[in-house]
Amino acid sequence: MARKKIALVGAGQIGGTLALLAGQKELGDIVLLDIPDAEGVAKGKALDIAEASPVEGFDAGYTGTSNYADLAGADVVIVTAGVPRKPGMSRDDLVGINAKIIKAVGEGIRTHAPNAFVIVITNPLDAMVGLMQQVTGFDPAKVVGMAGVLDSARFRWFLAEEFKVSVEDVTAFVLGGHGDTMVPSVRYSTVAGIPLPDLVKMGWTTQEKLDSIVQRTRDGGAEIVGLLKTGSAFYAPAASAIAMAESYLKDKKRVMPCAARLTGQYGVDGLYIGVPVVIGSGGVEKIVEIELNAEEKAMFDKSVAAVKTLVEVTAKVAG
């Protein structure tokens, strides 16, 4: 069986980490693409990781390029092209620059990788993945945004630290847009199946501590930006997108929170927003509609309103 092909558009911090992780997991051959000015970075990272493969013991082909023709036959394209945040910036401040970049990248993908499953990471996420679907004209099941896996991974890690249990036994759900209005769902997050409200009752933690963990999750991206000062998180975002790519390539049908285009679910139509989905060889095979209580619904609706505003700004910028 021929190897799968994974194209990474954007060879920056996340792109390089994606390239390493995809190789280590032997997901397929990897193409790193960047703008002509940064072609050396794409080529350099490709060669550097290829040279690590004999030590790490994995087989994967690596190509660095600035030529979209090299995307031909890609099974998965992961897009990080754009600029990241600096301290004091919100994700929404990036829309002016990144919308133009996503438009150009989308046109390249449409022409050269028409059968790919496209995972967008570029911020502001929900608006950029919507724009990518519009520009490519691909089936919305084949264009998805990575945010919820990362946000819920942060939530899981904070909870595992609080409870002093393995991260593996903590599941967490985060809904809504990837921004300050995201909705970490306490009721649907568990330790080995025990919902968080029950753990409060059992004395494992207090409501106050839980509230502060929820807030830390919402601010998780800004916390890293504040520490790094020169850019935003890249290890956990890359790991999250790789989990989505793996579920698609291996038809694992994992249930993951992703930005998907809703068609009436949660009372939303035609907008990309974070919800639980099933990812398999058909792409986004199912959108899972969980029941929200009045408080969660109000938070979700607020998040939807924020994403709608951003989509309007994006439409103006992208033309």
Q: Catalogue the active-site residues.
A: 178
> Which residues ranging from 254 to 313 are in contact with ligand A3D (CB under 6 A)?
none
> Which residues ranging from 42 to 61 are in contact with ligand A3D (CB under 6 A)?
none
Q: Which helix (H) or strand (E) segment is 129 a member of? A: helix 125-136
* Residue 215 marked in a binding site: no
* Residue 48 marked in a binding site: no
* Residue 91 marked in a binding site: yes
CB-side neighbour CA atoms (13 Å) of 141: 12
- Verify cis geometry, omega within 30 degrees of 0, for the bond prior to 124: yes
Residue 34 within binding range of ligand A3D, rule CB under 6 A? yes
- Angstrom CA distances, 13 to 6, 17, 20, 158, 185, stand at 17, 6, 11, 24, 30
Phi then psi for residue 164, to 5 deg, are 55, 50
Residue 98 within binding range of ligand A3D, rule CB under 6 A? yes
> Which residues ranging from 235 to 254 are in contact with ligand A3D (CB under 6 A)?
237
- Angstrom CA distances, 119 to 53, 57, 147, 184, 264, stand at 25, 27, 10, 22, 22
117 φ/ψ sector (left φ>0, alpha ψ -120 to 50, else beta): beta
Is residue 190 within 8 A of residue 280, CB to CB? The reply is no
Q: Of 44, 10, 37, 33, which is closest to residue 112 (Cα–Cα)?
A: 33
When the beta carbons of 140 and 191 are compared against ligand A3D, the nearer one is 140
Please classify residue 202 by burial: count the beta carbons closer than 10 Å to its beta carbon, then call 0-12 exposed, 13-18 middle and 19+ buried: exposed
Q: How far is the CB of 134 from ligand A3D (least distance, A)?
A: 17
* Residue 12 marked in a binding site: yes
The single residue among 13, 134, 189, 303 that binds ligand A3D, judged by CB under 6 A, is 13
The single residue among 62, 103, 106, 123 that binds ligand A3D, judged by CB under 6 A, is 123
Residue 178 within binding range of ligand A3D, rule CB under 6 A? yes
- State how far Cα 263 lies from the chain centre: 20
Tokens of 198: 């029950």
Residue 232 within binding range of ligand A3D, rule CB under 6 A? yes
The single residue among 7, 8, 12, 138 that binds ligand A3D, judged by CB under 6 A, is 12
When the beta carbons of 140 and 177 are compared against ligand A3D, the nearer one is 177
When the beta carbons of 50 and 228 are compared against ligand A3D, the nearer one is 228
Contact window for ligand A3D (CB under 6 A) among 120-128, 159-167, 290-298, 308-316: 120-128
**Token match 């394209």: residue?**
77
> Measured between alpha carbons, how far is 48 from 50 in angstroms, rounded to an integer?
5
When the beta carbons of 93 and 285 are compared against ligand A3D, the nearer one is 93
Contact window for ligand A3D (CB under 6 A) among 34-42, 45-53, 182-190, 296-304: 34-42
> Measured between alpha carbons, how far is 186 from 276 in angstroms, rounded to an integer?
15
Residue 125 within binding range of ligand A3D, rule CB under 6 A? yes
When the beta carbons of 94 and 278 are compared against ligand A3D, the nearer one is 94
Contact window for ligand A3D (CB under 6 A) among 30-38, 207-215, 270-278, 293-301: 30-38
Which residues are annotated binding-site positions for substrate? 85, 91, 123, 154
Q: What residues make contact with ligand A3D under the rule CB under 6 A?
A: 9-15, 34-35, 38, 80-85, 94, 98, 101, 104-105, 121-123, 125, 146-147, 150, 178, 231-234, 237
